[in-house]
Every structure is written in structure tokens, then in C-alpha cells.
Amino acid sequence: MALLEKTEALTVAYGAIDKDHEEFINLLNALDTADNGDFPALFQQLYEHTEQHFERENQLMAQYAYPGVADHKGEHQRVLGEFKQFKSRVDKGLIVFGRSFVKERLPQWFGLHVAMMDSALASHINKQPAS
């Protein structure tokens, strides 16, 4: 069974964000089943994907004058900080810490982030007049 399944609850009805979320889910599931030899490179890939996804969201928030930008960007910074702490451990060969982060922290955080923050952002964007 996959760690996270792509469900309607994890979509926000905005194509670019949903595409990034699908990739996040795929990488997270790949990490869950990766052997210790493959884990560090996949963890790096998930970290880089998350950084890029957050930057794309930050650009969307600026482009569409999203009123919740401060809280949303703050959450991005907090999660990347946490990610970096675990990445440094994985980089030192402490794979067990990375596995714990992948299994116990990221799925719960992701579900809440999509439901609370990304869905609000997508709703705001989708309400904007077409340009």
C-alpha cells in the first residue's frame, strides 16, 4: 500500500499545483519503498522538488495578489527548514531519520497543507477574472 494516494482531497482544482502535488506524492511513495542505497538521492530529489514547488506557489501568490501570502510563505520556510535538518542527517548516512520524516511527518503535513493553504490559494486564483 502506498504511503499517500492521489485522491480528490489532495487536489485543489488548479492544474499547475495539482501536477506538482502528484509528483510530490510519487516521490514520497518512492522514498517509502526505496532501499538505503537509493534513499539519499531520492530524498535530495524530493527536497529539490519541494523547493521548486514552493517557489512556483510563491510566484502565483505574488501574481494574483493573494491575501494570505505571509502565512503561506512562512509555512513554506518552516517546512524547508525542517526538511534541511533531516536532509543533513540523511547526507551523513543517518537514513533512519529520513525514513521517519518521510513516513511520520510529511504525509500528515502534506494533507493539512493542501487542505488548508493550497486549496485557499487555488480558490483565490480560480476566482480571478480571466486575463
In a domain? residue 10: no
CATH number for position 109: 1.20.120.50
Instruction: For 71, list phi and psi in degrees, rounded to 5.
Output: -65, -40
DSSP letter, residue 35? -
* Mean pLDDT (whole number) for 14-24: 95
What confidence tier does 23 reach under pLDDT thresholds 50, 70, 90? very high
Q: What is the pTM of this model?
A: 0.92
In a domain? residue 104: yes
Instruction: For 14, list phi and psi in degrees, rounded to 5.
Output: -140, 110
Q: How many domains does the chain have?
A: 1
Q: Which residues, 6 or more positions from 77, have their beta carbon under 8 angstroms from its beta carbon? A: none
* Chain mean position to CA 15: 15
In a domain? residue 67: yes
Convert the pLDDT of each residue in 34-55 to its tens digit. Answer: 999 999 999 999 999 999 999 9
